[in-house]
Structure 1
Amino acid sequence: MKVYCVGGAIRDELLGLPVQDRDWVVVGATPEDLLARGFRPVGKDFPVFLHPASHEEYALARTERKTAPGYAGFVFHTDPSVSLEEDLARRDLTINAMARDEAGTLMDPYGGQADLAARVFRHVSPAFAEDPVRILRLARFAARFADFRVAPETLVLMRRMVDDGEVDALVPERVWQELARGLMEARPSRMLRVLRDCGALARLLPEVDRLFGVPQPAKHHPEVDTGEHLCLVLDHAAATGQPLPVRFACLLHDLGKGVTPAPVLPHHYGHEASSERLARAVCERLKCPVDCRDLALMTAREHGIVHRALELRPDTTVKLIERCDGLRRPERFVALLDACACDHAGRAGLAGRPYPARDRLLAALAAVRAVDAGAIARQQADKARIPAAVHAARIDAVKALGRGTEVPVGAANDT
């Protein structure tokens, strides 16, 4: 029995990156051999075991055969005769198909070390085409390793997979899992670009794909293209360390601009309503978590009015906070402002400009929450007047911050 450390741990070690997790492959053994050594079985589809001390995953060397469309249509074969090279051959990319034995010797039968040096994502074998999840994984790796490029032959293979309908067989839960992980990488825009280059974005997120090529006013958006704006917004969210709900809200905030009728282009007045409708459809299709869904819908609906915060009347500001449930969920209202700040910063050459709308609404939120609704209620003889009295007190609290003069929709900066 021989044991090898494989996959991402070897890749990251060679790149000089911290190794978070280690996976191991066992060659020349049976499940009974590992059970006898105290390993605990955890694999459903093929034999995977947890080490009795380290709790790291050890998998028996295996081969696989495609039996049905989609990522789940495989039959796995494990046997003591399966070699390390056969096991590595089933992996997605050459940079993930390297191993080290217990003596520290590097095993690299498919040229992963050379592709690391050249900064290239290259598939190990034509078997790459059998698993559509690999398209999502490669796109996610592109978001993590932003200086890597996709090998031309791999991109051709990915396009063929899309044309053959393999991507259409992906279940929503797996799409969401890989999308969420990609959004949390250093350059989420790279994930979108790789998916778009191979045609997968149009199949998985057509609402996002159609933003590319849609113009915006150059006065406020030097990058002009709405898709390019989205990429800048996502990368700013990553650069500022935003959590997943904020990054997902950034992804969906402008979907309505992809369906703006020609007479309204390039200003997209009133696109927020369409953005919310389309964002809701995406959330339902992906079955995303509730916190991500709620913030995405709120950001799509409200980002236009948030950008105009300095011009809003106090009563409009209070209605915004109440509509967004900012009194009970202040942390989510702050997340809305963070998503809008990323939207504001996601403009070519304008990323460093101040965003006073966020400070204004944070101050308004604090002022509104400081109103003692209980004390106001005790002063009211007519209980039916309590809600109106509390609302009026909140407006007065915002007025004390300084007056705004509301302007028509579209007159403020369009971000």
Structure 2
Amino acid sequence: MKIYLVGGAVRDELLGRPILERDYVVVGSTPEQMEALGYQQVGKDFPVFLHPESKDEHALARTERKQGQGYTGFICDFAPNITLEEDLMRRDLTVNAIARDQDGSLIDPYQGQQDLEARVLRHVSDAFGEDPLRVLRVARFAARYHHLGFTIAPETQALMQRMVDDGELATLTKERVWQEIEKSLKDGAIDVFSEVLASLNALPLVMPWLNEWTSADGQCLKARLAQLDPQDNDFLLMSFALWQCQAQLDDYNLEQDFKVPKAYCEALRDLQAALPVLQGTQWQPQTIMQIFNLLDASRRPQRLTLLCKAARTFSDELASRCDTLTHALSLAANVKAQDVIALGFKGPQIKTEMDKLKIQAMQALFD
């Protein structure tokens, strides 16, 4: 049995980037042997095991055969006689098909190091075309490593275009598509991710709310995204930038039609409801109370945090108002329901009187 470090850990180590997780391929073993050594099996479709101490994933070397459509239509073979080179051949890009053995030596049968040096994303084999999810993965890698000068190899771009033209992306589930979008959002380069998909005419299938990427609104969005802190370039802020550019997000039900998580959709609805109030000409304690009520900020302060996170990117004035909102929420928290009840108020009167007291307390921020 031989164990090799593979994939992203080797790639990022060679690029001098932090290694976030380590994945291993095991050659010459069986599920029974892995379990006997204390590994815990977690994979159902093919054997993946957790190391008994580090909990790093160890997958048995395998090959795949396409059967049916989509990214799930594969039959896996994980016999002990499968070689490392056969396992690496099934991977998407040459830069992800480099392995390191336990002595530290690199095994690179598909010239991944050469492509790393040339800053090229190139598919390993024609098997790439059997998995439509890889179109999104390449777009994501192109975005993640754009700042390092990486580009997509022309032959890989052409293969991706054929996959889009053949309708392969239509076989992807919305949940799986969202996972790739979210990963790219967290990488902080959704603009590059979207541009790659736009170049393939794939945006209508993946993110139709960004389908006008090359239009005036699209240019506006690019300019807005360029102003954002890469650490904050998440879906909320992308949606905020879109909204400011007058894109028609209301034409889509992101949660139902595209499986965007509820938390993101709720944050966008909060922006649509509260941001106009925050931007208004009237800025006084009553305005702040209106925002707090819109967001139920006393019970769910995280909604106010997300609103301010987006609003701060728009102007210094809104950033200042967000500072005031944060202080105001602290002052409002000092008003207790029991104190109002002790004064004899009941039912709906309690909230009305509490709001009055909160407004009085917040007045100190304006004096």
State TM-score, norm by structure 1: 0.79
Give the 5 Å matches for 1:390-409: 390-402=354-366
AA paired with 2:161?
R
Q: Deviations over 1:178-221 (max 9, x none)?
A: 22222111433322222222233221110122254134xxxxxx
Query: CA 1:170/1:34 → structure 2, altered by over 3 Å: closer, same or farther?
Result: same
Q: CA deviation at 1:111?
A: 1.2
Supply the distance in 2 between the matched residues of 1:12 and 1:379 (Cα, whole angstroms): 64
AA paired with 1:172?
K
Give the 5 Å matches for 1:110-129: 110-129=110-129
Aligned position for 2:46: 46
- Name the SS for the 2:193 alignment partner: helix
Supply the distance in 1 between the matched residues of 2:348 and 2:119 (Cα, whole angstroms): 68
Aligned position for 1:219: none
Supply the distance in 1 between the matched residues of 2:29 and 2:323 (Cα, whole angstroms): 62
Matching of residue 282 in structure 1 with residue 254 in structure 2: yes
Q: Which has the higher contact order (CA 8 A, sep 6+)?
A: 1
Give the 5 Å matches for 1:86-105: 86-105=86-105
- Name the SS for the 1:253 alignment partner: helix
What are structure 1's unaligned runs of at least 5 residues? 216-223, 259-267, 346-351, 404-415
Aligned position for 2:65: 65
**Is this contact kept in 2: 1:307–1:340, CA < 8 A?**
no
Which has the higher mean CA deviation after the structures are superposed, 283-292 or 5-14? 283-292
Query: CA 1:297/1:47 → structure 2, altered by over 3 Å: closer, same or farther?
Result: same
Aligned position for 2:235: 248
Determine which of 266, 274, 277 is the counterpart of 1:305: 277
Supply the distance in 2 between the matched residues of 1:186 and 1:384 (Cα, whole angstroms): 45
**Is this contact kept in 2: 1:249–1:297, CA < 8 A?**
no
Matching of residue 10 in structure 1 with residue 10 in structure 2: yes
**Is this contact kept in 2: 1:368–1:397, CA < 8 A?**
yes
Supply the distance in 1 between the matched residues of 2:204 and 2:276 (Cα, whole angstroms): 26
Aligned position for 2:290: 319
Q: CA deviation at 1:297?
A: 2.0
Query: CA 1:24/1:385 → structure 2, altered by over 3 Å: closer, same or farther?
Result: closer
Query: CA 1:368/1:203 → structure 2, altered by over 3 Å: closer, same or farther?
Result: same
AA paired with 1:39?
Y
Aligned position for 1:232: 226
Supply the distance in 2 between the matched residues of 1:402 and 1:79 (Cα, whole angstroms): 73
Supply the distance in 2 between the matched residues of 1:330 and 1:381 (Cα, whole angstroms): 26
Aligned position for 1:377: 341
Q: CA deviation at 1:58?
A: 2.1
Supply the distance in 1 between the matched residues of 2:70 and 2:309 (Cα, whole angstroms): 37
Aligned position for 1:358: 322
Aligned position for 1:187: 189
AA paired with 1:338?
K
Query: CA 1:387/1:10 → structure 2, altered by over 3 Å: closer, same or farther?
Result: closer
What is the total number of aligned residue pairs between the two structures? Answer: 365
AA paired with 1:99?
A
AA paired with 2:306?
A
Query: CA 1:49/1:355 → structure 2, altered by over 3 Å: closer, same or farther?
Result: closer
Supply the distance in 2 between the matched residues of 1:32 and 1:389 (Cα, whole angstroms): 69
AA paired with 2:340?
I
Q: CA deviation at 1:256?
A: 5.1
Query: CA 1:41/1:368 → structure 2, altered by over 3 Å: closer, same or farther?
Result: closer
Query: CA 1:129/1:302 → structure 2, altered by over 3 Å: closer, same or farther?
Result: farther
Determine which of 309, 323, 334 is the counterpart of 2:305: 334
Query: CA 1:333/1:103 → structure 2, altered by over 3 Å: closer, same or farther?
Result: same
Query: CA 1:357/1:196 → structure 2, altered by over 3 Å: closer, same or farther?
Result: farther
**Is this contact kept in 2: 1:380–1:386, CA < 8 A?**
no
Q: Deviations over 1:293-338 (max 9, x none)?
A: 3212212333333234x64343233112111111111232022111
Aligned position for 1:261: none
Supply the distance in 1 between the matched residues of 2:92 and 2:290 (Cα, whole angstroms): 52
State percent identity of aligned pairs.
Answer: 40
Q: CA deviation at 1:381?
A: 5.7
Q: Please provide the CA RMSD for this pair.
A: 2.8
AA paired with 2:162?
R
Aligned position for 1:22: 22
Aligned position for 1:296: 268
AA paired with 2:223?
H
Matching of residue 388 in structure 1 with residue 359 in structure 2: no
**Is this contact kept in 2: 1:211–1:257, CA < 8 A?**
no
Aligned position for 2:130: 130
Aligned position for 1:167: 169
Aligned position for 2:205: 203
Aligned position for 1:83: 83
- Name the SS for the 1:391 alignment partner: helix
Supply the distance in 2 between the matched residues of 1:301 and 1:384 (Cα, whole angstroms): 24
**Is this contact kept in 1: 2:254–2:265, CA < 8 A?**
no
Supply the distance in 2 between the matched residues of 1:71 and 1:282 (Cα, whole angstroms): 23
- Name the SS for the 1:124 alignment partner: coil
AA paired with 1:154?
T
Supply the distance in 1 between the matched residues of 2:131 and 2:71 (Cα, whole angstroms): 5
What are structure 2's unaligned runs of at least 5 residues? none
**Is this contact kept in 2: 1:254–1:300, CA < 8 A?**
no
